[in-house]
Amino acid sequence: MIRILGIETSCDETAIAVLEVHGNKFSVTAEEISSQHEVHEAYGGVVPELASREHMRNLPLIYDSVLAGVSLSIADFDFIAVTVGPGLKGCLLMGLEFARGVSTASGVPLVGVNHIEGHVLAPLLDNPDLTFPFLALVVSGGHSEIVQVDAPGKYLVLARTTDDAAGEAFDKSAALLGIPYPGGPALARLADSINSSRFTLPKVMREAEGYSFSGLKTAIRLLVEKENNWPSDEQIKAEIAYAIQDSIVDALVFKLKKAIKKTGIKTIAITGGVSANRALREAVKALPGVSVYVPKMIHCMDNAAMIAYAGYYRFGENNRHLDADPIKSRWPVEQLPPLPERNLNGI
Ligand code: KG4
Ligand code: ZN
């Protein structure tokens, strides 16, 4: 059995998880996620300095709580996996320095993990029947991309956003409707409260290879300004929310359809915070002949179980310790090195 401690602090969630691997069976035996939404709400978005400070405060508390919950000490772990990019530099540093401290004090080795690789692999953690190759639609507050996954570590990015991410498009649209940060889930609930809308938004950037939400954002702003009676009219507000959700989902699914056509791959995994969205899940499931996989709800958003899981593949004899400065605030998955030589017998 291999036991891994996962640590995630790339944005505004502080998360720690325990992952146990028995042969080819993976089980998350403990995990805690502390979200900082209340801290950032007043500012309408994540304030990096405040986020770093919250991570520094939360990490030791969550660490103690997770280990106490499963009656383990750090000596019971084979290695630690920590997110080292992409993400907010100060936030990543907090997680890394905490992990380094624990690793140095205990002698338990440490491996650095790419956050997007965590999201890409998360559907596998919760769906043992998901098979390669599959297309991962990675949709979160910071990322929107379609990745062809041929095996762990073998990724081909087929589409990526050139501006805002899907979650950002949800959150910024929600803010226009007076819904506090991060307004994506609340906007989705409002949209789901009705079945149709008198409004339609233009279909933008269909020809381009990648995603772009800036044109849509302008169209949404114009609609919200034009129909300015929404603050007093719940029906109109809901119908605007419906049109917004519909257009973001449509943009995501349009490019996914292109990727399916191009690759012939019909096994789809949706992952990242926006994969919690009901309308998106249903729209993808409605595509002809596809099988759709999503992580458990807790593993859709930022979490440490997916980091421990990606760490399982990234850990090898040659990378038991990190470089002096492993943090990469930008780190596209196609720049990941091949998986290391495996030799997990000795740990
Ligand atoms: O993966 P995640 O927790 O963090 C990042 O890596 O960014 O994703 C958070 C994003 C936020 O933008 C949030 O509004 C969005 O996911 N989100 C949703 C829903 N649940 C979370 N967007 C639309 N519908 C939802 N149900
Ligand atoms: Zn994320």
The arrangement of strands across the sheet holding 25-35 comes to: 25-35, 13-22, 2-8, 79-85, 110-114
The torsion of the CA quartet 86, 89, 92, 93, rounded to 10 degrees, works out to 150
Per-residue burial over 57-82, b = 16 or more CB atoms within 10 Å of its CB, e = otherwise: ebbeebbeebbeeeebeeeebbbbbb
pLDDT of residue 321: 77
CA 237 – CA 245 distance, rounded (Å): 12
pLDDT at 257: 97
Residue 140 pLDDT class (50, 70, 90 cuts)? very high
What residue's CA is closest to ligand 1, atom 19? 185
Average of per-residue pLDDT across 146-162: 96
pLDDT digits (tens, 9 = 90+) for 284-313: 999 999 999 999 999 999 999 999 999 999
Atom of ligand 1 lying closest to residue 119 CA? 1
pLDDT of residue 241: 97
Q: Which residue has the higher pLDDT, 346 or 201?
A: 201
Look up residue 299 and give its amino acid.
Answer: H
Q: Is the pLDDT of residue 209 over 90?
A: no
Residues framing ligand 1 (Cβ under 6 A): 11, 140-142, 167, 170-171, 182, 184-185, 188, 272-274, 276-277, 301-302
| pLDDT reported for residue 308 | 98
Tell me what pLDDT residue 45 has.
84
Instruction: Give the tens place of pLDDT for each residue, 73-90.
Output: 999 999 999 999 999 999
Task: Give the number of the ligand closest to the Cα of residue 280.
Answer: 1
* Residue 56 Cα to ligand 1 middle (Å): 23
**Residue 347: predicted pLDDT:** 55
What residue has token string 């690793």?
A: 103
Interval between CA 347 and ligand 1 midpoint (Å): 36
Residue 343, pLDDT score: 53
Question: For position 312, what pLDDT does the model report?
Answer: 96
pLDDT level of residue 204 (50, 70, 90 thresholds): confident
Please give the residue that has the higher pLDDT: either 150 or 215.
150
User: What whole-number percentage of the chain has pLDDT above 70?
Assistant: 98
CA of 166 to the centre of ligand 1 (A): 8
Residue from 168, 274, 307 to probe ligand 1 pocket by mutation (most atoms less than 8 Å from CB) = 274
Name the closest-CA residue to atom 16, ligand 1: 273
Q: Is the pTM of this model over 0.75?
A: yes
For ligand 2, the distance from its centroid to the CA atom of residue 197, given in whole angstroms, is: 31
Stretch 133-139: mean pLDDT, rounded?
Answer: 98
Average pLDDT over residues 321-347: 82
Is residue 346 scored above 70 in pLDDT?
no
- Token reading at 173: 């649209």
Ligand 1 atom with the smallest distance to the CA of 166 is 12
Residue 344's pLDDT band, with cuts at 50, 70 and 90, is low
pLDDT of residue 36: 86
Ligand 1 pocket test, candidate residues 140, 242, 296, 329, most atoms within 8 A of CB:
140
Query: pLDDT band at residue 46, thresholds of 50, 70 and 90?
Result: confident
Ligand having the closest approach to the CA of 165: 1
Atom 3 (ligand 1) nearest CA:
301
Ligand 2: distance of its center to the CA of 298 in Å?
Answer: 12
- When the pLDDT of each residue in the chain is averaged and rounded to a whole number, the result is 94
Ligand 2 center–CA 236 separation, angstroms: 32
pLDDT in tens, 88-129: 999 999 999 999 999 999 999 999 999 999 999 999 999 999
Q: What band does 38 get if pLDDT is binned at 50, 70 and 90? A: confident
Question: Of all protein residues, whose CA lies closest to atom 10 belonging to ligand 1?
Answer: 141
Identify the band that residue 55 occupies on the pLDDT scale cut at 50, 70 and 90. very high
* Protein residue with its CA nearest to atom 5 in ligand 1: 141
Across residues 2-11, what is the average pLDDT? Answer: 97
Closest ligand, as measured to the CA of 184: 1
Pair 176, 224: CB distance under 8 Å: yes
Q: Which atom of ligand 1 is nearest to the CA of 272?
A: 1
Q: Answer whether residue 240 shows pLDDT above 80.
A: yes
Average pLDDT over residues 19-39: 94
Instruction: Give all strands (DSSP E) within the chain, no chain letters.
Output: 2-8, 13-22, 25-35, 79-85, 110-114, 134-139, 144-151, 154-160, 267-271, 291-293
| Shortest-distance atom of ligand 1 to CA 183 | 14
On the 0-12 / 13-18 / 19+ scale of CB atoms within 10 A, 206 is: exposed
Q: What is the DSSP letter of 338?
A: P
